[in-house]
Amino acid sequence: MQPPVLQIETTLDGHWSALAQIAQACELSREEVSEAAVKGALWRRKPGKKAKLKRIRDPDAESESGDTLLLNYNRTVLDQKPQLPVLVSDQGNYSVWYKKPGVLSQGSKWSDHCTVTETAASVHGRKCLLVHRLDRAARGLIVLAHTPNACKALTSMFEQRKVLKIYRAKVHGEFDQSLPYSIGTPIDGKSALTTVLQSDTYKDQGSDQSISDLEVDIKTGRKHQIRSHLASVGFPVVGDRLFDPDRDHQADLQLIAYKLQFKCPFSGKLLKIQLDDKLLIESQ
């Protein structure tokens, strides 16, 4: 029986194919190794002290004698079924998508076949490059580039805070702070600013507890920024098992990247993109 998890490293010689050599080293079939490589589990390192690892899909075409191949094989990860994103706006050399909850922005050493970039590429038929991140548990709008130039230009805009990012978050409690309400607590030693623009409070029918529906603007993009900031002032996001671990959660994370506004770096046109009613309802 094949092991569900293994990590194998082998240095190639020139006598037979790379695929055959890595298969023999890990005692998997060539078909299993090929599948793992296509899903992002195979890495190559060229000879030399400063050589970096690179993910490869086709070991016979992308490696040669003297290269070191590393296979990170996890059958459970490889068997995961990707969730396809929804195209919201196609701008030619970049596009905006609706990312579903649970979908990763970036891959791991074990695979990348379920990431938003790989799944969007399978839908769109073009290479997709990550411009910015969205928490795995969160859902909503994410920008992907199709060319290196577009990726560089858009990434710079996000870093320079030239993109308006509006989120909707359902939080526990009655949010009665004067609006707009800003939270500027640093995250991981870096500046961070979250501003609550609107709030609407109602009673949760299931528990009769107060729930507030917030519209939130972030000027920075720190990891888990909205979740961390709102929890720090006593209003954790509904379904947030990371920052509200002691609560018995009955729902998934209620955080939606709802609206993006920015000037197209190529046309100069102001773009205002937001989830339509159908996707917004599906996201709640």
d(CA 25, CA 9): 8
d(CA 114, CA 102): 10
Terminal-to-terminal C-alpha distance of the chain: 43
157 close to 260: Cβ distance less than 8 angstroms = no
170 close to 237: Cβ distance less than 8 angstroms = yes
d(CA 203, CA 268): 44
pLDDT of residue 277: 63
Global confidence as pTM: 0.89
273 close to 260: Cβ distance less than 8 angstroms = yes
Instruction: Show the tokens assigned to 91.
Output: 């701008």
Instruction: Show the tokens assigned to 192.
Output: 């961070």
Question: Which of 278, 262, 193 lies closest to 228 in space, CA to CA?
Answer: 193
Quick one: how far is CA 179 from the chain centroid? 30
* pLDDT tens across the length of the chain (284 residues): 556 899 999 999 988 899 999 999 988 999 999 999 999 999 999 998 788 999 999 999 999 999 999 999 999 999 999 999 999 999 999 999 999 999 999 999 999 999 999 999 999 999 999 999 999 999 999 999 999 999 999 999 999 999 999 999 999 999 999 999 999 999 999 999 999 999 999 987 777 789 999 999 998 888 999 999 999 999 999 999 999 999 998 889 999 999 999 999 999 999 999 997 656 555 44
pLDDT of residue 284: 45
26 close to 32: Cβ distance less than 8 angstroms = no
Q: What is the dihedral of CA 61, 77, 143, 223, to 10 degrees?
A: -120
pLDDT of residue 282: 52
pLDDT of residue 51: 87
Domains and CATH numbers, the chain: 5-78 (3.10.290.10), 86-160 (3.30.2350.10), 164-253 (3.30.2350.10)
pLDDT of residue 7: 95
pLDDT of residue 14: 80
